[in-house]
Amino acid sequence: MLKNKNIILGVCGSIAAYKAAVLVRLFIKAGANVKVILTADAANFITPLTLATLSKNPVYTQYFEEETGVWSNHVELGLWADYLIIAPASANTMSKMANGLCNNLLSAVYLSAKCPVMFAPAMDLDMWKHQSTQSNIAKLKNYGNILIAPNNGELASGLFGEGRMAEPEEIIAFLIAYIKKDLPLLGKKVLVTAGPTYEAIDPVRFIGNHSSGKMGFAIADQFAKLGAAVTLVSGPTAEKSTQHLTRIDVQSAAEMLDSCRQHFKDSHITIMSAAVADYTPITVASQKIKKQEGELSISLKKTTDILALLGTQKRKGQILVGFALETEQEEEHAKAKLLKKNLDLIVLNSLKDKGAGFKTDTNKITIFNKNFDKKEFEVKSKTAVAVDISNEIMKLLSK
């Protein structure tokens, strides 16, 4: 859930600041990217060096570092974060947040943040119960900020009661639960194929195509963001996923077929965006073929049509999506493929469209459903195209 999430941890002046070290460690262990903002009072309880070492990032303490001349851009930090978590949140900082005061870096980042903001108060019992504190908390919640309620327990003053900051493990669990509740595909299994296949001629050479895998990886990442358990079967590519998923690397069409057969039966949604070879050499030379005079002929045989095979095995309730990359009579060929291979949707690319096709960071698609209803999209980044594709698939799930 937290892999590659960008988290800013704001640490305020409180004895509970020592828990920030454990919290940062847990975030890093979960795969998150963490930047820490330490208020001046917080630095009396825990050192920037400790948090910088654990977070693997410099710790921010003020707008401007006089010794280095570095300015901390609060707007940039606010936009970077997927989540801003203030823990411990002192009564002083909560008062600033509630009333729009902005006299330190943390309060400036808070006012600039576009992401969900969570705050975990920590203070003595009487401070927690004071009417002004409760009024500020009510304001913060009304603004859309999310309270991570304190626990009952022994306090630094020796009193026993409410005001003890939630434990780091509880904050992690709270954040994960928050993320999960807005994930529409939680519990769903999604199979995605991406990239080319390489069909060996000899130990050195192969038959391949220009697919980079960018589109398939963008689709896999998008479905992982929606909470699905994604299995990505990828041909040879330099692309890397930004999300937590299961990646299976293959070389040939036969290897991709084996992996798809294995995982298709358990998948709720399958999106076949790989550019699978239609033909493969009948015989693969065991040694490198030497250059000779005259022509060289290589006999080819058809590969198994993976998409068509899965279409025959599709069960009620499964969604199967194919891609069609065409150079002529694009729509006619796409519709025929949709029908012949028992697909629920087909995504059409044309190599004639500027900004579409292999190796580009953009794409232009048209989607057809079973009724041949057509939806055209503008040229967009492949990340944005993946969102469009996921939205059309989500419509099928809601029917």
**Residue in 100, 171, 101, 165 with CA at minimum distance from that of residue 127:** 165
Tell me the β-bridge partners of 83: 7
Choosing from 57, 209, 342, 369, which is the catalytic residue?
209
pLDDT < 50 stretches in the chain? none
**Residue in 88, 76, 18, 78 with CA at minimum distance from that of residue 50:** 18
The pLDDT of residue 182 = 78
Distance CA(289)–CA(18), nearest Å, equals: 66
The mean predicted confidence, pLDDT, of the chain is 92
The pLDDT of residue 244 = 81
Tell me the β-bridge partners of 375: 367
The pLDDT of residue 355 = 67
Distance CA(15)–CA(8), nearest Å, equals: 20
Q: How far is CA 261 from the centre of its chain?
A: 26
Helix axes 105-112, 91-99, angle to 10 degrees: 40
Distance CA(305)–CA(298), nearest Å, equals: 21
Residue 368: both structure tokens together: 């057809």
Per the annotation, the verdict on 209 as an active-site residue is yes
In the chain the domains, ranked by start, together with CATH numbers, are 6-181 (3.40.50.1950), 189-287+297-397 (3.40.50.10300)
The pLDDT of residue 83 = 96
Distance CA(120)–CA(194), nearest Å, equals: 42
The pLDDT of residue 74 = 83
The pLDDT of residue 117 = 97
* E strand segments, 145-207: 146-147, 151-154, 160-164, 189-194, 199-200, 206-207
Please provide residue 84's backbone torsions phi and psi, each rounded to the nearest 5 degrees: -110, 120
